Structure formats: structure tokens, C-alpha cells
Amino acid sequence: MLNAPSVTILAIACMLAGLRALATQGTPVGAVHAREPVELKLPESWANVECYRWLADGKMIVRYNTGKEAQSHTGEYAPWSGSWRPLPWLDAASTPLSDSEDNLFEASPDSTMLLFYSNGNQIVSGLDGQKRVTSAYPVDRSWWAPDSNSWVGMRAVPGTGATELALDSVAPERADGNAPRRWYDLGRHYLVAGMVTSTEVLVVSEAVQSVQNGWASVKSFDLAKYRSSRRQWRMSVPDLTTVKDAKVSPDGRRLCWLLVLNSQRLNVRGSRDFPGNVEIGFWVSGTDGIGLHRLWSYDLKPDRVDLLDHGWYRMGGPSGVQWLPDSSRISFRWNHKQWTLDAK
């Protein structure tokens, strides 16, 4: 049984612990890493994963090359068991439409269809290669809607730097080969995060405002009505300098952010003082901005800060960011390896 002095000491210890917990809530971003990524074991012969998409059963559609031959290989891979099933029809059919090969194909949220590009057309097929829909117009990228019945395509407007969006679907009454009835002018400097409903797409401004209290504009467009919706808000994080990526979860409810934070302050000459704390990390929020919190981050060394704006991949930044179909984890490539991260 505790005597009076012991009880007093215990009470003081508990109070100090509570104060430390409160202090931790205000700790600068990057000082605490609540969780760590889990590496996925891929075959050693895979020198480079060009494109991958997750399926609901835990498997992946992957295209890789060995680095020793010109031809790439596409198939269905189960990372937990190591099983591989070649998909030669997808190897022969899919071709990238932009500089990045990461847009070779898109798996529908229900994992029953693939959307891919072939000779300037968009094609929707089953996982068996059975063609369902052909859209005779080129795009640079596409995003499935949560219901797996529609998707949005994006293309660049030649000579302007602007982009356009169009809604398409796999509805039975849709005439095969038709182009969209209308393209929506998105303008410049917007990053498409994905679709939150069957007609609504969420976009993020690439330009970050206010270095010391950074924020990025987020808004949605209803492509059935061809106008901006009322859902507009700001994603704000102290020291935010760059939004490298933003992805809507397959269920259309959450957003995964890949952010760069820089605690350096501008000096009187308008340039940054060195050294400073530069951090790259994953954050998650609702598609309305509620519940924004950091999942995991890592710090850059001061001598690599100058690579932030010209050399993202040279400094080993994460790429190929995706949600898994259950919307509870994210996946990404980093340092030539594949990782998953709990996003709950």
C-alpha cells in the first residue's frame, strides 16, 4: 500500500507525463514517425517495375523488365505467395501515351476490368482480355470512378499548357468508338487526384501559397453538369512547399497526399538560409479535408535540399503512389523497391 509521499510523487509523475504528451502534439512535423512502410518482396530479376495496379484479391497487374532484354513482361503477380501468371495479350495491346509508362493500364475499383491504351485509343476489357468498350480519342491519363462504371480522361491542350477533362462510361447503351460529348477546360497547374463519385472529379492546385504556412487549393468538378461544384477547400500544413502527388481512395472517401515540407525561412534577400529541415512524407485526409494527419515521413540531408525542384527522382523520392483496393493501405516505389503503408 502506497503512503502519502508515494502517492504525491506518483501524481506529479502522471502530471508531467500528461504535459509531455501535450507537448508532443505540437512537435514539429517529421519528428515523430508513428508507423513504418513494409517492403514487398519482388523477384530479384525484376530490374524495373514500369507499371503496377492492385486487385481486390491482393494480387497485382505488373509490367516489369529485367534490364537485360528489350522486351518487358506483363502479368498477374501475388506478392505474398510469389505466384506469376503471364498476360501476353496485355503486353501486345497496351502502349503509353505520355512520357511516363506508369499510365499503361488502370484497374477498376471492383477489379473486374482494365482500362488501357492502344494506338491512340482507350480500351476497356475484362481481366481475360475480352474487349468491352473502345474510345477513339487519345488521353494522357485516366481515373476510374468508385462504382467502376465510368472514368474520366485527361488530355493536354496543344500549345497552351492547359488540360481538359472528359467523362466516359461502360454503360451498355454507350455507342462503341464515340468521343465524349464535351471536354471540360481545367486550365493550368492542376493535379487530378481522382474521382469521388461517378461524375465528380477532385483536383488540387500544384502551386502552393505562403511558404511559412503553406496551403493548396482543392476543388471538385461535376463533369455531368460541366461546372465547378461548391466543394472547395484548402489543404494547409505548416512549412508546406510542394504537393508532389494526391490520390483519391478507391471508395472515393479519402485522399492520400505526398508532401514536401521545408522549415527554412526566407532571409532579407528573399533566398533560403541553409541548412534547414526538409521533409518528404505521406499524409491522409477525407476528400473534404477533415482529419488531415501524417502517416510517415523522412528528412532530407541539407546538402540535398537544392535537388527539390530539379531532381526529384535523383534524390530518391517516392513514386508510383497508389491505394490498395480496400482503401486502408497505400503502396509506392522508393529506392528501387516496392512498399506498402498502413493508412488507417
pLDDT value at residue 296: 92
Residue 271, pLDDT score = 53
Q: Taking all residues of the chain, what is their mean pLDDT, rounded to a whole number?
A: 77
What confidence tens digit (pLDDT) does each residue in 284-305 have? 999 999 999 999 988 766 544 4
CA distance 73 to 226: 40
Q: How far is residue 25 CA from its own chain's centroid?
A: 26
Cα gap 264→261, rounded to integer Å: 9
Closest by alpha carbon to 343, among 38, 77, 58? 38
Is residue 229 very low, low, confident or very high in pLDDT (cuts 50, 70, 90)? low
22 confidence band (pLDDT: 50, 70, 90): very low
> Where does the chain hold its CATH 2.130.10.10 domain(s)?
42-188, 189-344
Q: Give yes or no for a contact between 333 and 318, defined as CB atoms under 8 angstroms apart.
A: yes
| Residue whose C-alpha cell is 491482393 | 58
CATH class of 189-344: mainly beta
Give tens-digit pLDDT for 233-252: 888 888 888 888 999 999 99
- Residues β-bridged to residue 278: 262, 300
Helix, strand, coil shares, percent, the chain, to 5: 10, 45, 45
Predicted local confidence at residue 28, as pLDDT: 30
Beta strands (DSSP E) in 108-212 are 113-118, 121-126, 131-135, 141-144, 150-156, 163-169, 184-187, 190-195, 200-205
What CATH architecture does domain 42-188 belong to?
7 Propeller (2.130)
Burial group, residue 210, by CB count within 10 angstroms (0-12, 13-18, 19+): exposed
What is the pLDDT, as a whole number, of residue 263?
A: 67
